[in-house]
Amino acid sequence: MTSRPTDSGLAPGSASRGSLSLNLRVWRQERPADPGGFQSYRLEQVSADLSLLEALDQLNEELIAAGERPVHFDHDCREGICGSCGFLVNGQAHGARAATTVCQLYLRQFTDGATLTLEPWRTRAFPAIQDLVVDRSALDRLIGAGGYCSVNTGQAPDGNANLVGQELAASAFATATCIGCGACVASCRNASASLFVAAKLAHLGQLPQGQPERQKRARSMRQQMAVEGFGSCSSNLECEAVCPKEISADWISWMQREGR
Amino acid sequence: MSGLPDPRLPAGPIADAWRRTSEGLPLISPLRRRQMTVLVVGTGLAGASAAATLAEQGYRVRVLSFHDSPRRAHSVAAQGGINAARARAVDGDSVSRLFADTVRGGDFRAREAGCQRLAEISSAIIDQCVAQGVPFAREYGGTLATRSFGGALVSRTFYARGQTGQQLLYGAYQALMRQVAAGRVELLCRRDLLELITVDGVARGAVCRHLLTGALEVHTAQAVVLASGGYSNVYFLSTNALKSNASAIWRAYRQGALFANPCFTQIHPTCIPSGDVYQSKLTLMSESLRNDGRVWLPALAGDERPPAAIPEAERDYFLERQYPAYGNMVPRDVASRRARELCNAGHGVGPGGRSVYLDLRDAIAREGRETIEARYGNLLAMYERITGDDPITTPMRIYPAPHYTMGGLWVDYQLMSSIPGLFVIGEANFSEHGANRLGASALMQGLADGYFIAPSTVTAWLAGHPTPAITDDHPACREALDRARRRIAALLQVGGRRPVDAFHRDLGALMMERCGISREASGLRAGLQQLAELQQRFDSELGVPGSAEGPNPELDKALRVADFFGLAQLMLRDALAREESCGAHFREEHQSAEGEARRDDANFAHIAAWEFRGDGAEPLRHGEDLTFTALQPSIRSYR
């Protein structure tokens, strides 16, 4: 895990409590074709118990009251499981804290007066939409290219027909926890979706149910990666470092042997 | 509409009734299926599974989701597991036990035939999910593992660590994406349903708004399936994802779909409480913590000392005191009510005095810190992350939060609403949970509806109603478009400066106070009055920036919150009309001397189904009587 405590804005130690003031440099871009640029805002004495997204909610209410367009960002569950949220905080996907989505960053982790630069995922495969929002539908198309077991409803054999050892089940589960947030792509200098694809291939490829289509799936998903404009693996493991679900990049090496 | 439609309940004994019913349902030839379009709204467990299955059967399916991807749907957040009755000789579980637990858990306010069907289908759901590659937990020998959950006496909950909903949703999502790639499903993301289109009283499509362009779109179909989830966000702060909303079912209600049991909402006792006014979410903490944590409050009202400074003699372990037999393990609703009472009496702790302590101190002393950390490690880390407090050294603070809504659109046994051609599945319908849902039963119901029930009943409907396609400029479509346009224009024209979230917070606080953990007649009446006042302010002070074109998340929210206002009024009315306490609906007037819920089977053993009769007119309350043949109503007691 690469942590950069000097420019991360992270406060040393644990709970700061009380309130703090923050400088936000936020990427504003009304339309995909606009050039876009950073706009600075100051949040005065906000509660340290708020999450970063809640601080953005507060900023937006102030902007609305002032008649300005609020900052647009994707979000939904706010507990780190839906994968909707995601942007760079001081250059790092989901911020500096390990194993965390941006909705689970709390202000008490930052020092009073810190400047936080918020900008969207920047990669050709994720076209800009507005402000911090990008189009990640390429990830859905990757799944459509084979990230499933072809079994129609009603065709399933008994659930215990295939035994799966505990270790194998746990390993498959660990790769299946990918939430499709796109941080791995956004952090890769080649904008590769290798970790995303490897996670899905490893999830299904480790289980007996995934065997019949295993090689075809690997070829098809890899091919789709190229079609969508994702680059090849840059081997610098930044994807693993930013993954909120801590999916191991070892699976990318594993994937190289699949479907060949 | 005159009265209640026929619920089409099966004749004869309820055991095996679903097999008998489904075998008698008409079929459609594969060739004809290709010419029929089904519109599915929502991509959670119910919607994604229904859409994938209908496409597998050969229909043209069009799917609407307000998310950027179907995989985001709130089903993803379900933690605990999924119930299924897979009888094994040594365990003693059976279909009839799961059936009985579901009926009892719902406090005898659900249809027994529906509960029976759920129990009968449950095992096939597990088979289907396993075949999709859902990585369920396994026993050492490699068979599927189960755990007991929610006080059940048998071990029938299948799980994938604490992320069962996520894994089941990904199974359904992947099945859906397979059909999208095959060209059988047209997936339309970032769309909000604004109006239902009906022709001659039959559902024929929907008007939706593209959330990026603002364009209003007409989607026509031969049948419409709503799988748009529950409405806990009427309370603003809940365990639901922030965008979960009631607009699809509320718009259908206004077009004539009956709304059943709107006041049946479940409150979960162990959630991380709110602290700041800008807090947006209440995060669920697994109930399993009550196995080892002791719940307490300062015995002295207004005691502001930190917990460590309060001596043992001045701590009130109120659940252990009031329920010596069950102690901290009393059911969700009982624990929630007792916490609220004491907080109202000034004993609460934390910001605003709205939380209680859940203390692991004695468990750590008894079993050691390592054991407790191993047992609850991920939960403790989550708590620490959100609150900044270390639960090993200081008691956790918890408070009940709205979590699930048993109420929803009324459907018959075939999951069709009172609008012919409109099917409602998953949490969006009022379904089989009665007045209270059992833990790990939501996932079961969503997938039973989506994979197994709706595909065959939608087919049966289409077989009997081969309606010709309608064009997008049909008068009914134009009329629905006009309704949507007028609502958008009205919200943009208010021209105030108060953001929609500010109104949503006020609405939520009102509903939590008047129609939350505990309800009583004068409070509900006062709530209706306050709601009308808040509605007036909403109509005159709301500030929605921007225009109807392009992305405008504030407009998205304003449309949803406007619908929550309508639903809130119906919830208050329903809670007022139901003069009994049952399940999660607790009316203070209807309790025993010991403070326990008092059900009134003589007068309220029915489903309340509300009919919209126009703005300004009183909605009409219909009652569908519930009869019990397999299990006779009994009274629960935990003292």
Q: Tell me the per-residue pLDDT of B104-159, one tens digit each, with 9 for 90 and over.
A: 999 999 999 999 999 999 999 999 999 999 999 999 999 999 988 766 778 899 99
Chain B interface disruption, residue of A76, A132, A171, most B CBs within 10 A: A76
- Which residues of chain B are within 8 Å of residue A152 when distances are taken between CB atoms? 53, 56
Q: Does residue B144 sit at the A interface (CB-CB below 8 Å)?
A: yes
B568: left (phi over 0), alpha (psi -120 to 50) or beta: alpha
Quote the percentage of chain A above a pLDDT of 70. Answer: 93
The beta-carbon neighbor of A157 closest among B131, B451, B497 is B131
* A79·B497 Cβ contact <8 A: no
Is the pLDDT at B535 greater than 50, yes or no? Answer: yes
Answer for the pair B237, B274: CB distance below 8 angstroms, yes or no.
yes
Given a contact cutoff of 8 angstroms between Cβ atoms, the answer to whether B117 and B453 are in contact is yes
What is the average pLDDT score of chain A? 93
> What does the alpha-carbon distance between residue A248 and residue A199 come to, in Å, rounded to a whole number?
9
Residue B469, φ and ψ in degrees, nearest 5: -65, 150
3-class secondary structure, A54: helix
Q: What is the pLDDT of residues B171-183, one digit of tens each?
A: 999 999 999 999 9
pLDDT, mean of residues A143-151: 98
Going by C-alpha positions, the residue among B624, B630, B633, B634 that lies closest to residue B9 is B624
Torsion (CA) B103, B107, B109, B115 in degrees, nearest 10: -10
**What's the CA gap between B619 and B609, in Å, rounded?**
10
Q: In what order do the strands lie in the sheet with B408-409?
A: B408-409, B259-260, B606-611, B620-625
**B302, B389 contact by CB (below 8 A):** no
DSSP reduced 3-state for A131:
coil
Å from B531 to nearest chain A CA? 23
How near does any CA of chain B get to the CA of A25, in Å?
21
Instruction: State percent of chain B over pLDDT 90.
Output: 86
Whether pLDDT at B528 is above 70? yes
Contacts of A5 (CB under 8 A, 6+ apart): A12, A96
**H-helix or E-strand containing B210?**
strand B202-210
Is it the case that residue A12 has pLDDT exceeding 50?
Answer: no
Counted across chains A and B, CB pairs separated by less than 8 A come out at: 228
Question: Are the Cβ atoms of A81 and B170 closer than 8 angstroms?
Answer: no
Largest CA distance in chain A: 63
Question: Within the 90-119 window of chain A, which residues sit less than 8 Å (CB to CB) from chain B?
Answer: 100, 104, 106, 108
Instruction: Give the residue-averaged pLDDT of B200-220.
Output: 98
Q: From B564, B500, B572, B578, select the one nearest B232 (Cα to Cα).
A: B564
Phi and psi dihedrals of A239, rounded to 5?
-60, -45
Residues contacting residue B450 through CB under 8 Å, at least 6 positions apart: B45, B46, B47, B48, B49, B50, B53, B172, B227, B425, B426
pLDDT of amino acid B150: 65
Q: Is B392 part of the contact surface with chain A (CB cutoff 8 Å)?
A: no
Least confident of A150-164, A187-201, B329-343, B494-508: B329-343
Q: How do residues A33-44 score in pLDDT, each as one tens digit?
A: 999 999 999 999
Cβ partners under 8 Å of residue B275, min gap 6:
A47, A49, B350, B351, B387
Mind listing the pLDDT tens digit for each residue in B558-591?
A: 999 999 999 999 999 999 999 999 999 999 999 9
Instruction: Please state, in angstroms and rounded to a whole number, the distance separating the CA atoms of residues B74 and B537.
Output: 31
- Give CA–CA dist B376/B290, Å, rounded: 11
Q: Partners of B377 in the beta sheet?
A: none
In A, which residues are within 8 Å of B278 by CB distance?
A: 46-47, 50, 54-55, 57-58
Do strands A115-119 and A19-28 pair parallel, antiparallel, or not at all (unpaired)? parallel
B623 burial level (CB within 10 Å; 0-12, 13-18, 19+): middle
The rounded distance, in Å, linking the Cα atoms of B94 and B99 is 9
State whether residue B455 sits within 8 Å of chain A by CB.
Answer: yes
Q: Which of A186, A220, A227 is nearest to A200 (CA)?
A: A220
Q: Three-state secondary structure along B322-380?
A: HCCCCHHHCCHHHHHHHHHHHHHCCCCECHHHCEEEEECHHHHHHHCHHHHHHHHHHHH
What pLDDT is stored for residue A15 in this prediction?
Answer: 39
Contact B598, B562 (CB under 8 A): no
Residue of B nearest to A206 (CA): B133
Q: Which of A31, A140, A164 sits opposite B142 (nearest CB)?
A: A164
Confidence of residue B326 (pLDDT cuts 50, 70, 90): confident
What is the percent of chain A where pLDDT is above 90?
91
The band of B230, judged by pLDDT with boundaries at 50, 70 and 90, is: very high
The helix-helix angle for B500-515 and B553-577 (nearest 10°) equals 20
Tokens representing residue B625 in the block? 């009587």
Q: How far is B279 from chain A (nearest CA, A)?
A: 6
> Is B276 an interface residue toward A (CB < 8 Å)?
yes
- Residue B531's alpha-carbon distances to B280, B561, B571, in angstroms, are 21, 13, 11
Phi, psi of B26 (to 5 degrees): -70, 155
pLDDT of residue A110: 96
DSSP for residue A99: T
- Find out whether B558 and B542 touch, Cβ atoms under 8 Å: yes
Residue A74's nearest CA partner among A84, A60, A63, A87 is A84
The amino acid present at B519, given as its one-letter code, is: R
Interchain contact B243–A (C-beta under 8 A): yes
Q: Which residues contact B175 (CB under 8 A, 6 or more apart)?
A: A148, A151, A153, B48, B49, B52, B53, B132
Cβ neighbours, 10 Å, residue B371: 13
Per-residue pLDDT at A96: 94
Mean pLDDT of chain B: 94
| Average pLDDT estimate for B398-427 | 97
Under 8 Å between Cβ of A138 and B68: no
Contact in structure between A155 and A234 (CB atoms under 8 Å):
no
Backbone angles phi, psi at B310, to 5 degrees: -95, 115
Inform me whether the pLDDT recorded for A3 exceeds 60: no
In this prediction, residue A17 has a pLDDT band, given cuts at 50, 70 and 90, of: low
> What is the identity of the amino acid at B120?
E
Backbone angles phi, psi at B217, to 5 degrees: -120, 145
Q: Which residues pair with B621 in a beta bridge?
A: B610
pLDDT per residue over B297-321, tens digit each? 999 999 999 999 999 999 999 999 9
Distances in Å between the Cα of B334 and the Cα atoms of B108, B220, B584 are 17, 46, 9
Residue B210 bridge partners (DSSP): B191
Q: How far apart are CA A54 and CA B227, in angstroms?
A: 29
Q: Which of A83, A150, A154 sits opposite B178 (nearest CB)?
A: A150
Q: What is the rounded CA–CA span in Å between residue B54 and residue B46?
A: 12
Most confident residue range from A218-232, B137-151, B270-284: A218-232
Q: What one-character DSSP code corresponds to residue B638?
A: -
State yes or no: pLDDT of A50 exceeds 60. yes
| Neighboring chain B residues of A106 at a CB cutoff of 8 Å | 385-386, 388
Q: What are phi and psi of B365, to 5 degrees?
A: -65, -35
Average pLDDT over residues A105-130: 96
Q: How far apart (Å, rounded) are the C-alpha atoms in residues A1 and A59?
A: 31
How many residues in total does chain B contain?
639
Closest to A156 (Cβ–Cβ): which among B71, B128, B137? Answer: B128
- Could you tell me if B545 and B397 are in contact, meaning their C-beta atoms sit under 8 angstroms apart? no
- For B388, which of A17, A82, A140 is closest by C-beta distance? A17
| Nearest by CB: B497 against A65, A176, A180 | A65
Does B413 contact A at CB distance below 8 Å? no
Q: Which amino acid is at B92?
A: G
The span from the CA of B62 to the CA of B221, in Å, is 9
A122 touches chain B (CB under 8 A): no
If you ran DSSP here, which 8-state letter would residue B21 be given? H
Q: Which residues of A touch B177 (CB under 8 A)?
A: 140, 143-144, 147-148
**Confidence band, pLDDT 50/70/90 cuts, at residue B405:** very high
Chain A residue with CA closest to B244: the answer is A76
Taking the C-alpha atoms of residue B476 and residue B85, their distance in angstroms, rounded to an integer, is 45
Q: Is A13 on the interface with B (CB under 8 A)?
A: no
Paired residues of A93 in beta bridges = A88
**Distance in angstroms (rounded) separating the CA atoms of residues B98 and B83:** 8
Q: Does B275 touch chain A (CB under 8 A)?
A: yes
Spatial contact of B271 and B401, defined as CB atoms under 8 Å apart: yes
pLDDT at A2 > cutoff 70: no
Q: What is the pLDDT of residue A5?
A: 32
pLDDT surpassing 80 at residue A6 = no
Q: What is the ipTM of this complex?
A: 0.95
Query: Is 90 exceeded by the pLDDT of residue B334?
Result: no
pLDDT at site B573: 98
Q: Pairing between strand A115-119 and B216-220?
A: unpaired
Determine the Cα–Cα distance for residues B415 and B448; give it in Å rounded to an integer: 11
DSSP letter at A228 equals: T
Beta strands in B395-501 (DSSP E): 396-405, 408-409, 422-424
Alpha carbons B596 and B262: distance in angstroms, whole number: 22
Residues 6+ positions from A10 with CB-CB distance below 8 Å = A3, A96, A97, A109, A110, A111
What is the pLDDT averaged over residues B530-552? 97
| Distance to chain A for B473, nearest Cα, Å | 30
Q: Letter for the amino acid at B533?
A: E
CA distance B128 to chain A (A): 5
Of B52, B53, B278, the CB nearest to A57: B278
Span B157-170, pLDDT tens digits: 999 988 999 999 99
Q: State the average pLDDT over residues A123-147.
A: 97
The pLDDT of residue B612: 98
In whole angstroms, give the CA distance from residue B343 to residue B330.
Answer: 18
Q: Where are the alpha helices (DSSP H) in chain A?
A: 52-65, 137-144, 166-176, 183-187, 194-206, 214-227, 238-242, 250-256
pLDDT score of A9: 42
How is chain A split among helix, strand and coil, in percent rounded to 5? Answer: 35, 15, 50
Quick one: pLDDT at residue B274?
76
